[in-house]
Amino acid sequence: MLRAVLLLGLVLIAVLGVEPWCRQVRRSSRRIGVVLGGAIYLGLVLGLGMHAADSQKMLAHLIMPPGLIWLGLIALVAALVRRRQRGPSLLAAAVLLLYSLGGNVLLGTLGLISLQSELPLVDWTQGEPFDAVLVLGGGTKPQPAPARFGLAGPGDRVLLGARLYRRGRVQTLVCSGRGVPGLSDEDLTEATSVIWQELGVDAAHIERLRTPFNTKQELQALQKLIAERGWRRVGLLSSGYHLPRAMAQARRLGLELVPLRADEFIGPDRLTALSVVPQRGGFARTQAVVWEHLGRALGR
């Protein structure tokens, strides 16, 4: 926490010294002193408060697009405050706050952990084997030949499905999903099926639901398949943060499924100087949290 405060102090000192210097293009002793003070402060923070690797990561994050935008917003707030433009400075400060929170890796991670913890962690190695497990689409991506397909960010769900089969915990694996009509007609089930077979899953034990393109349609297709096949114990496998919303939809359809969590998030568990800087990963995780809550509000 102390390092985070030191970093924020560093940024404010540097900006307050650099902004008027750049604006008037005039080197006065006062401005030079402030900038040098900021540089010394930077050296103290990075040299004494962090390991060398951490300081390099910090500088790298600051010069990445999200970091540069963050520094620019801080400079804008500082300039407006110096000019005593109260309304614009408050608006810019609000934008800076939202941007900082939206790109914070710690907050995004805690939001995902909060979602995935709503359901108990099921030990899939114990109990009666599953008649079938539906693995929701979204865990694959196209690759150049000869690989053809690879795992995307949430690809752990695909791998976990194969592990369930290889360990004799499920008889039939069900994959689903396709691109959104009008944007992509890609058959996501083909990629999942190919990867599963390469991992040792028998093609005869793979069921493909090619038409659904969202979770609700996937569950409706599964409902019909359960009625046709007479399956009794069926699992629903997806990313941990998405499972609560998917299970709520399943309950609305009258389906009794066992939630199986993949792509679980852990840490970071504390605020550090590095996590203060908005990052691409922070925005992605925050967006996933907002997306899930928005889906709940819309009943999707």
- Kindly state the percentage of the chain with pLDDT values over 70: 77
Does the reported pTM lie above 0.95? no
CA distance 170 to 76: 57
Report whether pLDDT(245) > 80.
Answer: yes
Report whether pLDDT(29) > 80.
Answer: no
User: pLDDT by residue (tens digit) across 278-296?
Assistant: 999 899 999 999 999 998 8
Please say whether the beta carbons of 299 and 32 come within 8 A: no
Select the more confidently predicted residue: 208 or 188.
Answer: 208
User: pLDDT by residue (tens digit) across 60-109?
Assistant: 888 899 989 998 999 999 889 888 888 999 999 999 999 999 999 889 99
112-127: b (≥16 Cβ within 10 Å) or e? bbebbeeeeeeebeee
Select the more confidently predicted residue: 7 or 259.
Answer: 259
- Of the pLDDT bands very low, low, confident and very high (cuts 50, 70, 90), residue 180 is low
Mean pLDDT of the chain: 82
Which domains does the chain possess?
2-102 (no CATH), 126-272 (3.40.50.620)
User: pLDDT by residue (tens digit) across 116-135?
Assistant: 999 999 999 999 999 999 99
- Measured from the Cβ of residue 70, the count of other Cβ atoms closer than 10 Å reads 22
CA distance 252 to 256: 10
Sign for the pseudo-dihedral over CA of 106, 109, 113, 114: positive
Rg (CA), the chain: 25
